[in-house]
Amino acid sequence: MRVPRRALAALLVLAAVPATASCTAAHGADDPRPAGAGPAALAPYGRILPAPVSAHAAGPGYAFGPGTVVRTGTTDDEEVRKVGELLAEQLRGPSGLPVPVVDGAEGDGIRLRIDEGTEGAGAEGYRLESGPDGVTLTARTPAGLFHAGQTLRQLLPVSGPGTVPGGTVTDAPRFAYRGAMVDVARHFFTVEQVKRYVDQLAQYKVNTLHLHLTDDQGWRLAIDSWPKLAQYGGGSEVGGGPGGYWTKDQYRDLVAYAGERYVDVVPEIDMPGHVNAAQASYAELNCDGKARERYTGIKVGFSSLCVGKERTYEFIDQVLGELAELTPGPYLHIGGDEAHSTPAADYAAFMDRAQEAVAKHGKTVIAWHQLATAHPAPGAVLQYWGHDRTAAPEKAAVAAAAKAGHPLILSPADRLYLDMKYDATTKPGLAWAGFVPVRRAYDWDPGTYLAGVPESEILGVEAPLWTETIATRPDLEYMAFPRVLGLAELGWSPPAARDWTAYSRRLAAQAPRLDSQDVNYHRAPDVPWR
Ligand code: ACM
């Protein structure tokens, strides 16, 4: 058969993609159509988001159909079996196929394999190989297999059976910490609502869920030794709504659900400020011994725990002790931001005791970067939430702390705060850090962002979603999507993959997936949606 010359050239390009970094999906090298041709042009291996370290299409693919099984290797690996069960469940829904999970490693289908020697995979990376007899996912860890499965989902059609194109992906994350935060204190959200967000995040390889559990307007987690915190302090939210709280069992269920998706929960109890809900629940937490009124406005900086009272430290020790028991991950977040009603010396003295309490309960501190002005404990992690207009001395203090060995999580408010409006037409959200269009959220480099802080000091990135103006799931999703996909890529993909034009096309190509999941995303004008 005679093949027209132009088509032949395209075929040769597809077949001859070399095994070097230049064939990363981010560069679109397996995409024969010119740049700017729109998302329809992206071949499956070029659509993967976050962009993998390398991906190439080669040879015939695997027909995913009624006979497809997931093979989880040896039965004695319970965790791999669980990853396989969850992947099968994620494949069944959209495809309508049975996708049974079977033991044993050999045979056609989707094969999950642990191989300690998987090159370059680290703790979360993987290799995916697709050919006519199946798709093999290989990793050093079950977490790596989970992430491989999420890539596989993106190589399949959004619905129905289909072909996983032949080819190979080799992948591992740039940063260990890739987080999203939800403020369930300003407005209460249910465990089911947060689980849905976990599913949405995990499919893009976000691996940390930071929960802002307490603030002036509400206390959202039951604490046995101080029951009124949730029972009374949980009964309010911004705007005067009923609020709510999670029982410990509900919280455990959420933590386990996230854990099955390789998402660690980092719980935050914000102190010594942002504590009005606690001070309304217990008179003894106030220096004057009088309980505060519940608060439903959106001012900050007016509340403070009583630094000179020993009862305050019994309180934080008991609360952090119960929280540590509920937390399988390594971190407890103790806030430390906007303590405008706590004198500086008191703040430093208080944060010393709070950090001691975290260490006593076997956890590592994360605090907002204001802890740099006090005495961060050895190993404490600082979360930077400054922005372009943050004063140079404040940035320098954070850089000095990083130099002294405190890893940083970057959450620049004018890049990653998901509650900032996209533009003047965005209905929910705030704008104190400026508008944050989709491009602005993505188009910066965490590795060079803070002067004097090398990439080696950056633990990762996190996108917080504060909820003073956000009370419903649709609004939450509208603010998070699509910007949180940019966070996912900044956290995962190699620096060489960071290219706005290529990314915006990958992002646009996610639209059918987001639509099929009924995600209420913002169709931002700076993205070439189809
Ligand atoms: C913050 O936005 N107050 C951390």
Is the beta carbon of 338 within 6 A of some atom in ligand 1?
Answer: yes
CA-atom Rg of the chain in angstroms: 24
Pairwise CA distance, residues 207 & 330, whole Å: 13
Question: In ligand 1, which atom is closest to the CA atom of 368?
Answer: 4
- Cα of 441 to ligand 1 centre, how many Å? 17
Structure tokens at 507: 């992002």
Long-range contacts of the stretch 517-520 (C-beta < 8 A, 24+) = 517/200, 519/200, 519/477, 519/481, 520/473, 520/474, 520/477, 520/478, 520/481
Helices (H) and strands (E) in the chain, counts: 17, 19
272 upstream amide cis, omega within 30 of 0: yes
Which is the closest atom of ligand 1 to the Cα of 300? 3
Pocket probe for ligand 1: among 466, 467, 468, the residue whose CB has the most ligand atoms within 8 Å is 466
Domains 54-171 and 177-516 share a fold: no
In testing the pocket of ligand 1, which one of 269, 303, 368 has its CB within 8 Å of the most ligand atoms?
Answer: 368
Domain locations in the chain as residue ranges: 54-171, 177-516
**What does the alpha-carbon distance between residue 125 and residue 145 come to, in Å, rounded to a whole number?**
8
Give the span between the Cα atoms of 160 and 33, in whole angstroms.
26
C-alpha span between 51 and 67 (Å, rounded): 30
Note if the bond before 50 is cis, omega within 30 degrees. Answer: yes
CA separation for the pair 215, 194 (Å, rounded): 18
| CA pair distance 103, 387, nearest whole angstrom | 51
Q: For the domain with range 177-516, which CATH number is right: 3.40.630.30, 3.20.20.80, 1.10.357.10, 3.40.50.300?
A: 3.20.20.80
| Distance in Å, CA 218 to ligand 1 centroid | 16
pLDDT of residue 31: 39
User: Which of 215, 298, 340, 385 should be mutated for ligand 1, with most atoms under 8 A from CB?
Assistant: 385
Q: For the chain, first and last CA: distance in Å?
A: 35
- CA torsion through residues 306, 308, 311, 313, sign: positive
User: 417 CB under 6 A from ligand 1?
Assistant: no
User: Is residue 269 helix, strand or coil?
Assistant: strand
CA of 411 to the centre of ligand 1 (A): 10
pLDDT of residue 29: 36
Alpha helix ranges (H) inside 361-421: 392-403, 413-416
What pLDDT score does 183 carry?
98
State in Å: Cα 135 to ligand 1 middle: 44
Given 79, 85, 260, 338, which residue is catalytic? 338
Q: Running along the chain, 530 residues long, what does each successive block of 10 average in pLDDT?
A: 31 29 36 42 90 96 97 86 98 96 92 93 97 97 98 96 97 98 98 98 98 98 98 98 98 98 98 98 98 98 98 98 98 98 98 98 98 97 98 97 98 98 98 98 98 97 98 98 98 97 97 97 95
pLDDT of residue 345: 98
| Burial bucket for residue 473 (CB in 10 Å: 0-12, 13-18, 19+) | middle
Distance CA 17, CA 34 (A): 16
Rounded distance between C-alpha atoms, residue 303 and residue 282, angstroms: 14
**523 alpha carbon – ligand 1 mean position (Å):** 27
Q: Is the CB of 384 under 6 A from ligand 1?
A: no
Residue with CA closest to ligand 1 atom 3: 337
462 annotated active-site: no
Ligand 1 atom closest to 335 (CA): 4
Nearest CA to ligand 1 atom 2: 385
Instruction: Extract the tokens encoding 242.
Output: 């009923």
Q: Atom 1 of ligand 1 has which residue's CA nearest to it?
A: 337
337 lines ligand 1 (CB under 6 A): yes
Q: CB under 8 Å to 446, separation ≥6 — which residues? A: 175, 410, 455, 458, 460, 461, 490, 491
Q: Determine the Cα–Cα distance for residues 505 and 511; give it in Å rounded to an integer.
A: 10
Q: What is d(CA 494, CA 500) in angstroms, rounded to the nearest whole number?
A: 14
pTM: 0.93
Residue 462: CB within 6 Å of ligand 1?
Answer: no
Q: From ligand 1's centre to the CA of 161, what distance in Å?
A: 45
Return the bridge partners of 111, or none: 71, 136
Q: Are 445 and 174 in contact (CB under 8 A)?
A: no
Ligand 1 centroid, distance to 461 Cα (angstroms): 15
- Which class would CATH give 54-171? alpha beta
CA–CA distance from 83 to each of 150, 196, 303, 461, 512 (Å)? 11, 18, 45, 25, 25
Dmax (CA) of the chain: 91
Strand stretches in 392-472, DSSP E: 408-410, 458-465
Contact criterion met (CB below 8 Å) for 396 and 372 = no
For ligand 1, whether the C-beta of 368 sits within 6 Å is: yes
**pLDDT score at 18:** 29
Distance, in Å, from the CA atom of 143 to the CA atom of 123, rounded to the nearest integer, reads 7
Task: Tell me which residue of 439, 411, 408 sits closest to 423, measured CA to CA.
Answer: 439
- Round to whole Å and give the CA distance between 251 and 326: 8
| DSSP bridge pairs for 41 | none
Q: What is the pLDDT of residue 465?
A: 98
pLDDT at 41: 62
